[in-house]
C-alpha cells in the first residue's frame, strides 16, 4: 500500500476545490481590467432581486467590452466567464457562415 500517492491525490483534490480562476470562453472584445481610480463606474448588469446597478470598487477586477463593464460575479452569472477550466470540452461549437 503506497500512502504517498494517496496523500498527493488528496492534496490535488483540495487544491482543485480552492481554485478560484475564471475563464472567458469567447474572448473576442473582452479584456480584464483592474479599477484604479475613484471615478464612479457601475456594472452593466443588475444582481438578481435588485433594481439598481452596483458600483465597481477601486481595486476590483472587472471585464470590459466596448462600453460594457461587468463585475466578475455578473460575468459568471451571464455566462461571459466561467469557473469551468474544461469549458472548451463542454461548449457547443458555433457554425460560422462562410463569406459570400
pLDDT, tens only, 63-74: 999 999 999 999
Query: Is the pLDDT confidence value at 81 over 70?
Result: yes
> Is position 2 within any domain?
no
Please check the confidence at residue 99 and state whether its pLDDT lies above 90. no
Domain assignment of residue 39, yes or no: yes
Predicted confidence at residue 18, as pLDDT, reads 75
Range(s) of the domain holding residue 79: 24-90
Q: Whole-model pTM above 0.85?
A: no
Is the model's pLDDT at 61 over the cut of 90? yes
So what's the pLDDT on residue 100? 55
* Domain presence at residue 31: yes
Asked if the structure places residue 70 within a domain, the reply is yes
User: Got the DSSP string for the chain?
Assistant: --HHHHHHHHHHHHHHHT----B-S--TT-EEEE--SSS-EE-SSPPTT-SSPPEEPTT-EEEEETTEEEEHHHHHHHTSSBS-TTHHHHSPPPPPPPP-
Amino acid at each position: 500500500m503506497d500512502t504517498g500517492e494517496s496523500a498527493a491525490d488528496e492534496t490535488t483534490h483540495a487544491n482543485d476545490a480552492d481554485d478560484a480562476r475564471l475563464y472567458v470562453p469567447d474572448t473576442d472584445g473582452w479584456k480584464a481590467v483592474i479599477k484604479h481610480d475613484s471615478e464612479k463606474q457601475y456594472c452593466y448588469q443588475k444582481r438578481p432581486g435588485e433594481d439598481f446597478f452596483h458600483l465597481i470598487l477601486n481595486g476590483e477586477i472587472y471585464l470590459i467590452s466596448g462600453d460594457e463593464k461587468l463585475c466578475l460575479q455578473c460575468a459568471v452569472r451571464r455566462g461571459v466567464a466561467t469557473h469551468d477550466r474544461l469549458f472548451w470540452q463542454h461548449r457547443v461549437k458555433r457554425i460560422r457562415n462562410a463569406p459570400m
